[in-house]
Structure 1
């Protein structure tokens, strides 16, 4: 695979592009606004520090260089304001990727996450030529499942005691979509 130059993905209302060091304050501010981000994900800590934001931006840079993770900032097209993040973690030997996302709570229930997820699935299939994209959510996070369904993903099952977080085993609902 030749090196992919990630510029941006433009949708009807959003721009998805590389997060930068200029975004650190905004990222930290959003992810510190509520403990829900941490409660509903495996990898977002609370509190969320500037160092955590730097790590995420570096992960985006390294992932692009290594072609094993494509991390996009989600921005409003009209203002370029950062409102979230979406990514594909690539499993090259099996030509598949795990999808992840988060969105500023102020923008929930407006279809922005679904719009971003649909566009990154299209990117994964058309640009990266992936065969499978999958995602999971905690059984308690039904809204995330609705996003996956609206983006064309199909529920495949429940992964019992899939992760252990904050002293509790978490069941995950598994969704996937195939490039057919």
Structure 2
């Protein structure tokens, strides 16, 4: 159940990766790549101030505000071999414990190594085997061939293309992907 994970987010593991909540000890790894322009070519916006200065991600700008626990999952992707943060993956905008969106980004030094596919497959497995979420959504700029391939390799179904739609703050053509719990069960078995 999602409620079980509102406060303590799980750590996931694959052959090569540990997928866990980021912390202040990860700032140095994040500083090396998170603000790089090439990551945001198809992201729909430029790097934010916090992404360019990852230490800001761990400072609460309004510590006096009591925050409700979030159902969203924001993980770092750690390469076991080096114990370095090489990416980030999220399930966010979870609505009514029924559906959520996925997003990921990887240090360009680790592109085309299957890391994103490995991480996304594990996150999808966790979501459909441990929560009540019935649908995951993904979006990818049509020009982002690699991201479109990752979603398809992980069993997401291309449901259409939005022509000149707004993706964050940029207008472009982008593909809409979806995966239902039943798609996952059929894909995995």
Normalising by structure 1, we get a TM-score of 0.84
State the number of aligned residues. 172
- Structure number, greater radius of gyration: 2
Shift of 1:121: 0.7
Normalising by structure 2, we get a TM-score of 0.80
1:78 aligned residue = 81
**Distance in 1, Cα, partners of 2:97 & 2:79:** 33
Change (3 A) 1:125 1:43: farther
Structure with the bigger RCO (C-alpha within 8 Å, sep 6+) is 2
Q: List, as ranges, runs of 4+ consecutive aligned residues in structure 1 with deviation greater than 4 Å.
A: none
Q: Contact conserved, 1:96 with 1:133, CA < 8 A, in 2? A: yes
Shift of 1:12: 1.0
1:3 aligned residue = 4
Gaps of 5+ in 2: 61-67, 183-189
**Distance in 2, Cα, partners of 1:141 & 1:45:** 17
**Distance in 1, Cα, partners of 2:78 & 2:85:** 4
Secondary structure of 2:34 counterpart:
helix
Q: Deviations over 1:112-153 (max 9, x none)?
A: 100000011111111222100110011111110000011111
Gaps of 5+ in 1: 59-64
Change (3 A) 1:66 1:77: same
